[in-house]
Amino acid sequence: MGKNYTDLKKTATRLRCAGLSYNEIRQSVDVSKSTLSLWLKSIPLKPEYKKRLYTKQIEILSMGPQSQKERRIREISKILKDAEGEIELPPSLDAYKLFGAALYWGEGTKGQGFEITNSDPHCILFMVRWFEKIFQISPEVLRAHLNIYPQQNESEIRRFWSHLTGIPLRNFGKTFIKPVSKNYKKNILYFGTIKVRVPKGTDMRHRTFGWVRAILRDIDPKVQLAQSKWASLTKTPRPVNLSTNKDLRPSA
């Protein structure tokens, strides 16, 4: 059912005449601030109401960006909570299957094998359970490899991922240690990055992308047409890495 703007405008007018600010009115009247401004700009406020709103505005300004940041945090928290309420749990098997397929489409390997690489424990644990529920692949048979920084404790990070996923420590292969870099790393991946591989999973990967293709079927003709029209873009030469090609480095 749509909004009854006549009633909303009446409520907004009554609250404005009582001296409330636009933000206060919006807590009871679900319309944008620009709509309120259009409705209420001609309504005069009593001096005592103007004084209260002015004082409140000064208080907000005196608190500065911190106040705005905290308000935004509360707004985001409400958005997240409301969005969570829109999802019916537990999800159906089809929804669960497609959610995992979409994650794999974005984060999984597109070439050989059936593996996914990520640093987010939620993503990795979901996919480990997805492999088990959809393909009956137990964590006991999965293979794992880490990608970490030199200063990190490889043994402890292996234990973390093994504890989380149920993948036995014996199934962890050689860890890749990132070379030391002079560049400042803003985001530290405290648990490193893990690659989880399903042995002999190539056909499972094909099935997963088959599910993705089914979802994309209605837009595929437009994508194919656009790619055909702009096929010249595929002729662009690949970039040359000057740092590794001595012959192409500029002379001193």
Residues in contact with 220: Cβ distance below 8 Å, sequence separation at least 6, in sequence order: 213
The pLDDT value given to residue 181:
67
The pLDDT value given to residue 62:
64
The pLDDT value given to residue 47:
87
What CA–CA distance (Å, rounded) separates 118 from 124?
Answer: 7
| Length reported for the chain | 252
Question: What is the mean pLDDT, run by run of 10 residues, along the chain of 252 residues?
Answer: 82 91 90 91 87 76 68 89 92 96 96 94 98 97 95 95 98 91 66 96 97 96 94 83 49 40
The pLDDT value given to residue 51:
84
The pLDDT value given to residue 187:
60
DSSP letters spanning 114-135: -EEEES-HHHHHHHHHHHHHHH
The domains located in the chain, with CATH, are 5-79 (no CATH), 93-209 (3.30.1330)
What CA–CA distance (Å, rounded) separates 189 from 161?
Answer: 13
Query: Is the pTM here over 0.85, yes or no?
Result: no
Q: Are 53 and 45 in contact (CB under 8 A)?
A: yes
DSSP letters spanning 24-64: HHHTTS-S-HHHHHHHHTT----HHHHHHHHHHHHHHHHHT
The pLDDT value given to residue 53:
81
The pLDDT value given to residue 122:
97
Structure tokens at 105: 């489409």
